[in-house]
Amino acid sequence: MRIRILLFLVVIFSSIASVKAQECMGTNMKAGSGFEMATFDGKGKSTGTINYKITKVASEGGMSVISVEMEVFNPKGKSEMKNTYNMKCDGNTLFLDASSLMNQEQMKSFENFQMKYTSTNIEFPNKFTVGQKLKDASLKGEGSSGPMAMTFNMQILNRTVESQEKITIPAGTFDTYKITSDMLMETKMGLGIKMQMNTISWRAPGVLWDLKTESYRKGKLFSRSELTKIY
| Residues with Cβ within 8 Å of residue 1, at least 6 apart in sequence | none
- Residues in CB range of 102: below 8 A, 6 or more apart: 83, 139, 154
Identify whether the C-beta of residue 41 lies closer than 8 Å to the C-beta of residue 221: no
* CA-only gyration radius of the chain, Å: 20
3-state SS assignment for residue 16? helix
Query: Residue 171: which of 127, 199, 209 has the closest Cα?
Result: 209
Whether the predicted model's global pTM rises above the 0.75 cut: yes
Q: 65 has which bridge partners?
A: 58, 88
H/E stretch holding 163 reads strand 148-169
Q: What are the φ and ψ backbone dihedral angles of 4, each rounded to 5 degrees?
A: -60, -45
Nearest C-alpha neighbor of 102 from the set 227, 199, 29: 199
Predicted confidence at residue 13, as pLDDT, reads 30
Tell me which amino acid residue 61 is: G
Q: What is the pLDDT of residues 121-136, one digit of tens each?
A: 999 998 999 999 999 9
Q: What is the pLDDT of residues 38-65, one digit of tens each?
A: 999 999 999 999 999 999 999 888 889 9
* Counted domains in the chain: 1
Domain that holds residue 87: 2-230
CATH code, domain carrying 66: 2.40.360.20
Say how far apart CA 81 and CA 131 lie, in whole Å: 37
Number of residues that make up the chain: 231
pLDDT, average across residues 205-218: 92
Instruction: Indicate the average pLDDT of the chain.
Output: 85
Which one-letter DSSP state was computed for residue 133? B
